[in-house]
Structure 1
Amino acid sequence: MSKVLARIREIGIFHRKNVLIKTAVSVVIISLLASGIVFATYSDDVNKSLADNLIRLHVVANSDSEEDQALKRDVRDIILEYMKDKLKDSKDIEQTKYIINESMPEIEKLAVQEIQRQGKDYKVEVMLGSYPFPTKLYGDIALPAGYYEALRVVIGKGEGANWWCVLFPPLCFVDATHGTVPESVKEELKNVLTEEEYSMVISADADDDIPVKIKFKIVEFFQDSRIKVSGLFDRIIRSIL
Protein backbone atom coordinates (compact mmCIF):
# COMPACT_ATOMS: atom_id res chain seq x y z
CA MET A 1 0.00 0.00 0.00
CA SER A 2 2.80 2.37 0.95
CA LYS A 3 4.49 1.66 -2.36
CA VAL A 4 1.29 2.54 -4.21
CA LEU A 5 0.93 5.82 -2.28
CA ALA A 6 4.59 6.66 -2.92
CA ARG A 7 4.08 5.96 -6.61
CA ILE A 8 0.98 8.18 -6.65
CA ARG A 9 2.94 10.95 -4.97
CA GLU A 10 5.76 10.56 -7.53
CA ILE A 11 3.25 10.78 -10.36
CA GLY A 12 1.67 13.86 -8.76
CA ILE A 13 5.06 15.55 -8.32
CA PHE A 14 6.03 14.70 -11.91
CA HIS A 15 2.70 16.03 -13.17
CA ARG A 16 3.12 19.30 -11.25
CA LYS A 17 6.68 19.68 -12.55
CA ASN A 18 5.49 18.97 -16.06
CA VAL A 19 2.72 21.58 -15.71
CA LEU A 20 5.19 24.11 -14.31
CA ILE A 21 7.65 23.49 -17.17
CA LYS A 22 4.91 23.81 -19.81
CA THR A 23 3.63 26.97 -18.13
CA ALA A 24 7.13 28.46 -18.01
CA VAL A 25 7.75 27.60 -21.68
CA SER A 26 4.38 29.10 -22.63
CA VAL A 27 5.17 32.30 -20.73
CA VAL A 28 8.55 32.57 -22.47
CA ILE A 29 6.99 32.00 -25.92
CA ILE A 30 4.22 34.51 -25.27
CA SER A 31 6.77 37.03 -23.97
CA LEU A 32 8.93 36.56 -27.05
CA LEU A 33 5.94 36.94 -29.36
CA ALA A 34 4.79 40.05 -27.52
CA SER A 35 8.31 41.50 -27.67
CA GLY A 36 8.51 40.68 -31.36
CA ILE A 37 5.22 42.47 -32.02
CA VAL A 38 6.38 45.49 -30.01
CA PHE A 39 9.75 45.61 -31.83
CA ALA A 40 8.11 45.12 -35.25
CA THR A 41 5.60 47.89 -34.53
CA TYR A 42 8.40 50.18 -33.36
CA SER A 43 10.40 49.36 -36.49
CA ASP A 44 7.43 50.14 -38.78
CA ASP A 45 6.71 53.40 -36.95
CA VAL A 46 10.31 54.58 -37.29
CA ASN A 47 10.51 53.55 -40.95
CA LYS A 48 7.21 55.28 -41.74
CA SER A 49 8.37 58.48 -40.08
CA LEU A 50 11.68 58.42 -41.95
CA ALA A 51 9.89 57.62 -45.21
CA ASP A 52 7.43 60.47 -44.65
CA ASN A 53 10.25 62.98 -44.20
CA LEU A 54 12.86 61.88 -46.72
CA ILE A 55 12.97 61.59 -50.49
CA ARG A 56 15.70 59.52 -52.08
CA LEU A 57 17.11 59.27 -55.60
CA HIS A 58 17.52 55.80 -57.09
CA VAL A 59 19.30 55.28 -60.42
CA VAL A 60 19.31 51.72 -61.83
CA ALA A 61 21.71 50.64 -64.60
CA ASN A 62 20.77 48.56 -67.62
CA SER A 63 23.27 45.86 -66.63
CA ASP A 64 26.43 45.27 -64.62
CA SER A 65 28.75 45.65 -67.60
CA GLU A 66 31.48 48.28 -67.16
CA GLU A 67 29.99 50.30 -69.98
CA ASP A 68 26.47 50.32 -68.54
CA GLN A 69 27.71 51.11 -65.04
CA ALA A 70 29.73 54.06 -66.37
CA LEU A 71 26.65 55.23 -68.27
CA LYS A 72 24.59 55.02 -65.08
CA ARG A 73 27.07 57.27 -63.29
CA ASP A 74 27.01 59.79 -66.13
CA VAL A 75 23.22 59.87 -66.11
CA ARG A 76 23.29 60.22 -62.33
CA ASP A 77 25.63 63.19 -62.52
CA ILE A 78 23.43 64.97 -65.05
CA ILE A 79 20.32 64.39 -62.92
CA LEU A 80 22.09 65.60 -59.77
CA GLU A 81 23.32 68.76 -61.50
CA TYR A 82 19.82 69.49 -62.77
CA MET A 83 18.06 68.74 -59.48
CA LYS A 84 20.60 70.67 -57.41
CA ASP A 85 19.50 73.85 -59.13
CA LYS A 86 15.81 72.98 -59.05
CA LEU A 87 15.79 72.12 -55.33
CA LYS A 88 18.16 74.79 -54.02
CA ASP A 89 15.30 76.86 -52.54
CA SER A 90 13.05 73.98 -51.44
CA LYS A 91 12.48 74.02 -47.68
CA ASP A 92 9.97 71.22 -47.09
CA ILE A 93 9.13 67.78 -48.41
CA GLU A 94 5.83 68.75 -50.07
CA GLN A 95 7.51 71.47 -52.10
CA THR A 96 10.26 69.01 -53.02
CA LYS A 97 7.68 66.44 -54.20
CA TYR A 98 5.98 69.08 -56.31
CA ILE A 99 9.26 70.12 -57.91
CA ILE A 100 10.22 66.49 -58.59
CA ASN A 101 6.85 65.72 -60.21
CA GLU A 102 7.14 68.82 -62.38
CA SER A 103 10.73 67.91 -63.31
CA MET A 104 10.24 64.25 -64.29
CA PRO A 105 9.67 64.87 -68.04
CA GLU A 106 12.86 66.96 -68.18
CA ILE A 107 14.79 64.35 -66.16
CA GLU A 108 13.74 61.66 -68.63
CA LYS A 109 14.70 63.91 -71.55
CA LEU A 110 18.16 64.67 -70.11
CA ALA A 111 18.79 60.98 -69.35
CA VAL A 112 17.77 59.89 -72.88
CA GLN A 113 19.95 62.59 -74.43
CA GLU A 114 23.00 61.40 -72.51
CA ILE A 115 22.28 57.76 -73.35
CA GLN A 116 21.94 58.59 -77.06
CA ARG A 117 25.07 60.75 -76.93
CA GLN A 118 26.95 57.64 -75.85
CA GLY A 119 25.54 55.63 -78.73
CA LYS A 120 22.90 53.64 -76.84
CA ASP A 121 19.17 53.40 -77.43
CA TYR A 122 18.03 52.37 -73.94
CA LYS A 123 14.63 53.54 -72.79
CA VAL A 124 14.34 55.44 -69.50
CA GLU A 125 11.59 55.18 -66.89
CA VAL A 126 11.22 57.97 -64.31
CA MET A 127 8.90 57.38 -61.35
CA LEU A 128 8.16 58.76 -57.91
CA GLY A 129 7.01 56.08 -55.46
CA SER A 130 7.85 53.89 -52.47
CA TYR A 131 10.74 51.47 -52.96
CA PRO A 132 12.86 49.14 -50.76
CA PHE A 133 16.36 50.24 -49.78
CA PRO A 134 19.11 48.45 -47.84
CA THR A 135 20.94 50.13 -44.96
CA LYS A 136 23.04 52.98 -46.34
CA LEU A 137 25.82 55.14 -44.90
CA TYR A 138 26.28 58.77 -45.94
CA GLY A 139 29.49 59.78 -44.20
CA ASP A 140 28.56 59.78 -40.51
CA ILE A 141 24.83 59.45 -41.18
CA ALA A 142 23.21 56.00 -41.48
CA LEU A 143 19.72 55.21 -42.76
CA PRO A 144 18.28 51.81 -41.82
CA ALA A 145 16.84 49.45 -44.40
CA GLY A 146 13.21 50.04 -45.29
CA TYR A 147 10.74 51.41 -47.79
CA TYR A 148 11.36 55.04 -48.72
CA GLU A 149 9.79 57.47 -51.15
CA ALA A 150 12.16 57.92 -54.04
CA LEU A 151 12.63 59.40 -57.47
CA ARG A 152 13.49 56.25 -59.41
CA VAL A 153 15.29 56.37 -62.77
CA VAL A 154 15.58 53.01 -64.54
CA ILE A 155 17.87 52.72 -67.55
CA GLY A 156 17.02 50.06 -70.16
CA LYS A 157 16.26 46.68 -68.58
CA GLY A 158 17.19 47.94 -65.11
CA GLU A 159 19.08 44.73 -64.30
CA GLY A 160 22.34 46.30 -63.14
CA ALA A 161 23.64 47.53 -59.80
CA ASN A 162 21.94 50.68 -58.62
CA TRP A 163 23.00 53.93 -56.98
CA TRP A 164 21.07 55.99 -54.44
CA CYS A 165 21.24 59.08 -52.28
CA VAL A 166 18.89 61.48 -50.44
CA LEU A 167 17.35 64.38 -52.36
CA PHE A 168 15.56 65.82 -49.34
CA PRO A 169 17.18 66.81 -47.05
CA PRO A 170 19.90 67.33 -49.70
CA LEU A 171 22.48 64.67 -48.87
CA CYS A 172 22.92 64.04 -52.61
CA PHE A 173 24.63 67.36 -53.04
CA VAL A 174 27.32 67.13 -50.36
CA ASP A 175 30.66 65.32 -50.30
CA ALA A 176 30.32 62.58 -47.68
CA THR A 177 33.46 60.73 -48.81
CA HIS A 178 35.53 62.16 -45.96
CA GLY A 179 33.34 60.58 -43.30
CA THR A 180 31.30 63.61 -42.24
CA VAL A 181 28.25 65.49 -43.46
CA PRO A 182 28.22 69.31 -43.10
CA GLU A 183 26.48 70.71 -40.03
CA SER A 184 24.12 72.74 -42.23
CA VAL A 185 22.76 69.55 -43.78
CA LYS A 186 22.52 67.87 -40.38
CA GLU A 187 20.46 70.84 -39.17
CA GLU A 188 18.04 70.32 -42.06
CA LEU A 189 17.82 66.65 -41.16
CA LYS A 190 17.25 67.56 -37.53
CA ASN A 191 14.38 69.84 -38.51
CA VAL A 192 12.41 67.09 -40.28
CA LEU A 193 13.01 64.17 -37.87
CA THR A 194 12.06 63.58 -34.26
CA GLU A 195 14.81 63.85 -31.66
CA GLU A 196 14.93 60.05 -31.34
CA GLU A 197 15.07 59.46 -35.10
CA TYR A 198 17.79 62.08 -35.57
CA SER A 199 19.81 60.56 -32.75
CA MET A 200 19.42 57.14 -34.34
CA VAL A 201 20.62 58.06 -37.83
CA ILE A 202 23.43 60.31 -36.61
CA SER A 203 24.74 57.96 -33.89
CA ALA A 204 24.10 54.50 -35.34
CA ASP A 205 27.84 53.87 -35.69
CA ALA A 206 28.83 55.34 -32.32
CA ASP A 207 30.34 52.57 -30.20
CA ASP A 208 29.63 54.46 -26.99
CA ASP A 209 25.89 54.79 -27.63
CA ILE A 210 24.67 51.22 -27.22
CA PRO A 211 20.92 52.02 -26.79
CA VAL A 212 20.88 53.93 -30.07
CA LYS A 213 22.75 51.12 -31.85
CA ILE A 214 20.23 48.59 -30.53
CA LYS A 215 17.29 50.69 -31.76
CA PHE A 216 18.94 51.05 -35.16
CA LYS A 217 19.54 47.29 -35.37
CA ILE A 218 15.90 46.58 -34.45
CA VAL A 219 14.66 48.78 -37.30
CA GLU A 220 17.29 47.40 -39.66
CA PHE A 221 16.46 43.76 -38.85
CA PHE A 222 12.68 44.00 -39.16
CA GLN A 223 12.71 46.22 -42.26
CA ASP A 224 15.33 44.09 -44.00
CA SER A 225 13.27 40.97 -43.22
CA ARG A 226 10.16 42.68 -44.55
CA ILE A 227 11.96 43.56 -47.79
CA LYS A 228 13.23 39.99 -48.24
CA VAL A 229 9.78 38.47 -47.62
CA SER A 230 8.18 40.94 -50.03
CA GLY A 231 10.81 40.11 -52.64
CA LEU A 232 10.16 36.39 -52.19
CA PHE A 233 6.42 36.86 -52.71
CA ASP A 234 7.08 38.95 -55.82
CA ARG A 235 9.27 36.22 -57.29
CA ILE A 236 6.64 33.56 -56.53
CA ILE A 237 3.89 35.62 -58.15
CA ARG A 238 6.04 36.32 -61.23
CA SER A 239 6.84 32.60 -61.57
CA ILE A 240 3.10 31.75 -61.41
CA LEU A 241 2.16 34.39 -63.96
Structure 2
Amino acid sequence: MKKTDIILLTGLIGSIIFSNFAGFEKKLDKIEHEVLRMHILANSDTEYDQNLKLKVRDKLLENSDEIFGGCENLEEMKIRANEKLDEINDIVLDVIHANGYNYTAQTQLVNMEFDAREYGDITMPAGKYDALRVTIGEAEGHNWWCVMYPPLCIPAAEKVESDEQAAEDYFEAEELDIMKNPDKYEVRFKCVELFRGLKEKLSK
Protein backbone atom coordinates (compact mmCIF):
# COMPACT_ATOMS: atom_id res chain seq x y z
CA MET A 1 0.00 0.00 0.00
CA LYS A 2 1.31 3.43 -0.91
CA LYS A 3 2.27 5.88 1.80
CA THR A 4 -0.39 8.33 0.62
CA ASP A 5 -3.02 5.58 0.79
CA ILE A 6 -1.97 4.74 4.36
CA ILE A 7 -2.25 8.40 5.33
CA LEU A 8 -5.69 8.67 3.75
CA LEU A 9 -6.87 5.44 5.39
CA THR A 10 -5.55 6.54 8.77
CA GLY A 11 -7.30 9.88 8.37
CA LEU A 12 -10.56 8.16 7.42
CA ILE A 13 -10.40 5.81 10.42
CA GLY A 14 -9.61 8.76 12.69
CA SER A 15 -12.57 10.71 11.31
CA ILE A 16 -14.91 7.77 11.91
CA ILE A 17 -13.68 7.32 15.48
CA PHE A 18 -13.93 11.06 16.17
CA SER A 19 -17.43 11.19 14.71
CA ASN A 20 -18.47 8.23 16.84
CA PHE A 21 -17.24 9.75 20.09
CA ALA A 22 -18.46 13.25 19.15
CA GLY A 23 -21.92 11.76 18.61
CA PHE A 24 -21.75 10.04 22.01
CA GLU A 25 -20.71 13.31 23.64
CA LYS A 26 -23.76 15.01 22.13
CA LYS A 27 -25.98 12.38 23.76
CA LEU A 28 -24.31 13.04 27.11
CA ASP A 29 -24.74 16.80 26.61
CA LYS A 30 -28.43 16.22 25.90
CA ILE A 31 -28.86 14.23 29.11
CA GLU A 32 -27.10 16.95 31.11
CA HIS A 33 -29.30 19.67 29.62
CA GLU A 34 -32.54 17.72 30.21
CA VAL A 35 -32.07 17.44 33.98
CA LEU A 36 -32.49 19.59 37.09
CA ARG A 37 -30.95 18.03 40.17
CA MET A 38 -31.30 18.73 43.88
CA HIS A 39 -28.10 18.74 45.92
CA ILE A 40 -28.17 19.06 49.73
CA LEU A 41 -24.85 19.33 51.55
CA ALA A 42 -24.79 18.61 55.30
CA ASN A 43 -22.93 20.68 57.86
CA SER A 44 -20.71 17.69 58.74
CA ASP A 45 -20.65 13.91 58.75
CA THR A 46 -21.80 13.53 62.33
CA GLU A 47 -24.90 11.40 62.77
CA TYR A 48 -26.86 14.46 63.94
CA ASP A 49 -25.93 16.59 60.95
CA GLN A 50 -26.60 13.79 58.49
CA ASN A 51 -30.02 13.22 60.04
CA LEU A 52 -30.72 16.94 59.81
CA LYS A 53 -29.83 16.87 56.12
CA LEU A 54 -32.40 14.12 55.57
CA LYS A 55 -35.04 16.07 57.48
CA VAL A 56 -34.36 19.05 55.20
CA ARG A 57 -34.71 16.72 52.21
CA ASP A 58 -38.01 15.33 53.45
CA LYS A 59 -39.46 18.80 54.05
CA LEU A 60 -38.43 20.08 50.63
CA LEU A 61 -39.92 17.04 48.90
CA GLU A 62 -43.06 17.42 50.99
CA ASN A 63 -43.39 21.01 49.73
CA SER A 64 -42.39 20.30 46.14
CA ASP A 65 -45.96 20.53 44.81
CA GLU A 66 -46.46 23.89 46.49
CA ILE A 67 -43.16 25.20 45.13
CA PHE A 68 -43.18 23.69 41.64
CA GLY A 69 -46.86 22.97 41.04
CA GLY A 70 -47.98 23.79 37.49
CA CYS A 71 -44.49 23.59 35.97
CA GLU A 72 -44.72 21.55 32.77
CA ASN A 73 -41.13 21.54 31.53
CA LEU A 74 -37.54 22.00 32.60
CA GLU A 75 -37.34 25.70 31.75
CA GLU A 76 -40.40 26.45 33.87
CA MET A 77 -38.86 24.44 36.74
CA LYS A 78 -35.65 26.46 36.60
CA ILE A 79 -37.51 29.77 36.41
CA ARG A 80 -39.70 28.79 39.37
CA ALA A 81 -36.71 27.58 41.39
CA ASN A 82 -34.91 30.87 40.78
CA GLU A 83 -38.00 32.85 41.78
CA LYS A 84 -38.48 30.86 44.98
CA LEU A 85 -34.90 30.62 46.25
CA ASP A 86 -35.67 32.74 49.33
CA GLU A 87 -38.84 30.75 50.08
CA ILE A 88 -36.99 27.45 49.73
CA ASN A 89 -34.18 28.72 51.96
CA ASP A 90 -36.75 29.75 54.59
CA ILE A 91 -38.11 26.19 54.59
CA VAL A 92 -34.57 24.88 55.13
CA LEU A 93 -33.97 27.32 58.00
CA ASP A 94 -37.30 26.41 59.62
CA VAL A 95 -36.24 22.75 59.69
CA ILE A 96 -32.82 23.64 61.08
CA HIS A 97 -34.24 25.81 63.87
CA ALA A 98 -37.06 23.37 64.67
CA ASN A 99 -34.40 20.75 65.36
CA GLY A 100 -32.48 22.99 67.76
CA TYR A 101 -29.65 24.12 65.49
CA ASN A 102 -28.53 27.64 64.62
CA TYR A 103 -26.78 26.83 61.35
CA THR A 104 -27.01 29.18 58.42
CA ALA A 105 -28.22 27.90 55.05
CA GLN A 106 -27.81 28.95 51.46
CA THR A 107 -29.97 27.93 48.49
CA GLN A 108 -28.78 28.57 44.95
CA LEU A 109 -29.56 27.57 41.40
CA VAL A 110 -26.17 26.56 40.00
CA ASN A 111 -24.52 24.67 37.17
CA MET A 112 -22.05 22.33 38.81
CA GLU A 113 -19.91 19.27 38.16
CA PHE A 114 -21.20 15.89 39.31
CA ASP A 115 -19.45 12.55 39.33
CA ALA A 116 -21.32 9.58 37.88
CA ARG A 117 -23.99 8.62 40.42
CA GLU A 118 -26.31 5.65 40.67
CA TYR A 119 -29.93 6.53 41.25
CA GLY A 120 -32.13 3.49 41.64
CA ASP A 121 -32.02 1.55 38.38
CA ILE A 122 -30.20 4.25 36.43
CA THR A 123 -26.79 5.92 36.53
CA MET A 124 -26.58 9.62 35.84
CA PRO A 125 -23.37 10.20 33.84
CA ALA A 126 -20.67 12.51 35.14
CA GLY A 127 -20.96 16.04 33.83
CA LYS A 128 -22.18 19.56 34.52
CA TYR A 129 -25.83 19.78 35.54
CA ASP A 130 -28.15 22.54 36.65
CA ALA A 131 -28.95 21.97 40.31
CA LEU A 132 -30.93 23.42 43.17
CA ARG A 133 -28.09 23.43 45.70
CA VAL A 134 -28.73 23.71 49.43
CA THR A 135 -25.78 24.08 51.80
CA ILE A 136 -26.22 23.73 55.55
CA GLY A 137 -23.82 25.42 57.97
CA GLU A 138 -20.19 24.69 57.10
CA ALA A 139 -21.30 22.36 54.27
CA GLU A 140 -18.48 19.91 55.02
CA GLY A 141 -20.52 16.71 55.21
CA HIS A 142 -21.69 14.18 52.66
CA ASN A 143 -24.43 15.27 50.31
CA TRP A 144 -27.78 13.88 49.28
CA TRP A 145 -28.97 14.36 45.73
CA CYS A 146 -31.82 13.42 43.45
CA VAL A 147 -33.30 14.31 40.07
CA MET A 148 -36.04 16.93 40.36
CA TYR A 149 -36.71 17.08 36.64
CA PRO A 150 -37.63 14.64 35.29
CA PRO A 151 -39.52 14.23 38.61
CA LEU A 152 -37.71 11.18 39.99
CA CYS A 153 -37.35 12.49 43.56
CA ILE A 154 -40.95 12.00 44.59
CA PRO A 155 -41.46 8.48 43.21
CA ALA A 156 -38.20 7.43 44.88
CA ALA A 157 -39.18 8.97 48.22
CA GLU A 158 -42.77 7.73 48.27
CA LYS A 159 -42.15 4.53 46.29
CA VAL A 160 -45.11 5.40 44.05
CA GLU A 161 -43.40 3.89 41.02
CA SER A 162 -39.93 2.77 40.07
CA ASP A 163 -37.26 5.24 38.99
CA GLU A 164 -36.95 3.19 35.83
CA GLN A 165 -40.58 3.69 34.85
CA ALA A 166 -40.45 7.41 35.67
CA ALA A 167 -37.27 7.81 33.61
CA GLU A 168 -38.80 5.99 30.64
CA ASP A 169 -41.51 8.65 30.50
CA TYR A 170 -38.94 11.39 29.85
CA PHE A 171 -35.74 10.07 28.28
CA GLU A 172 -35.26 8.67 24.78
CA ALA A 173 -34.29 5.02 24.25
CA GLU A 174 -30.60 5.75 23.50
CA GLU A 175 -30.31 7.98 26.56
CA LEU A 176 -31.93 5.33 28.75
CA ASP A 177 -29.55 2.68 27.44
CA ILE A 178 -26.58 4.85 28.40
CA MET A 179 -28.00 5.35 31.91
CA LYS A 180 -29.09 1.74 32.44
CA ASN A 181 -26.01 0.07 30.97
CA PRO A 182 -23.07 2.38 31.73
CA ASP A 183 -20.54 -0.48 31.71
CA LYS A 184 -21.26 -1.02 28.02
CA TYR A 185 -20.08 2.54 27.32
CA GLU A 186 -17.05 2.61 29.64
CA VAL A 187 -14.52 3.23 26.84
CA ARG A 188 -16.67 5.96 25.31
CA PHE A 189 -17.10 7.65 28.69
CA LYS A 190 -13.32 7.70 29.13
CA CYS A 191 -12.76 9.07 25.63
CA VAL A 192 -15.33 11.83 26.19
CA GLU A 193 -13.65 12.68 29.51
CA LEU A 194 -10.30 13.03 27.74
CA PHE A 195 -11.87 14.93 24.85
CA ARG A 196 -13.57 17.41 27.20
CA GLY A 197 -10.37 17.87 29.19
CA LEU A 198 -8.50 18.67 25.98
CA LYS A 199 -11.16 21.17 24.88
CA GLU A 200 -11.02 22.87 28.28
CA LYS A 201 -7.23 23.22 28.09
CA LEU A 202 -7.38 24.58 24.55
CA SER A 203 -10.00 27.15 25.53
CA LYS A 204 -7.77 28.66 28.23
Q: Judge same fold: TM > 0.5, yes or no.
A: yes
- Which is higher, the Rg of structure 1 or of structure 2? 1
- Cα distance between partner residues in 2 of 1:133 and 1:222: 17
Please list, as runs of the form range in 1=range in 2, the aligned pairs for 1:148-163 lying within 5 A after superposition.
148-163=129-144
TM-score, length-scaled by structure 2: 0.76
- State the secondary structure of the residue aligned to 1:106: helix
Q: Say whether 1:181 aligns with 2:151.
A: no
> Aligned residue for 1:195?
173
In 2, are the aligned partners of 1:139 and 1:176 still within 8 Å (CA)?
Answer: no
Aligned residue for 2:184? Answer: 214
Contact 1:145-1:223 within 8 A present in 2 as well: no
The SS at the match of 1:175 is helix
Instruction: Specify whether residues 176 and 226 from structure 1 end up closer, same or farther in structure 2 by C-alpha distance, changes over 3 A only.
Output: farther
Kept in 1: contact 2:168–2:176 (CA 8 A): no
Q: Which has the higher helix share?
A: 1
After superposition, the CA RMSD in angstroms is 3.3
TM-score (norm: length of structure 1): 0.66
Verify: 1:46 aligned to 2:27, yes or no.
yes
How far off its partner does 1:100 sit? 1.1
Q: Distance in 1 between matches of 2:91 and 2:124?
A: 29
| Identical-residue share of aligned pairs (%) | 29
Question: Superposition pairs for residues 11-160 of structure 1, below 5 Å?
Answer: 41-42=22-23, 44-160=25-141
Structure 1 residue 89, shift from structure 2 partner: 3.4
Q: State the 1:76 CA deviation.
A: 1.1
- Distance in structure 1 (CA, Å) of the matches to 2:17 and 2:103: 45
Partner amino acid for 2:89? Answer: E
In the TM superposition, residue 62 of structure 1 has moved relative to its aligned partner by 0.9
The worse-fitting range, judged by mean Cα deviation, of 105-114 and 119-128 is 119-128
* Unpaired stretches in structure 1, ≥5 consecutive residues: 1-19, 206-212, 230-241
Report SS of the residue matched to 2:123: strand
Query: 3-state DSSP class of the match of 1:79?
Result: helix
Unaligned runs of 5+ in 2: 198-204
Name the counterpart of 2:181.
Answer: 204
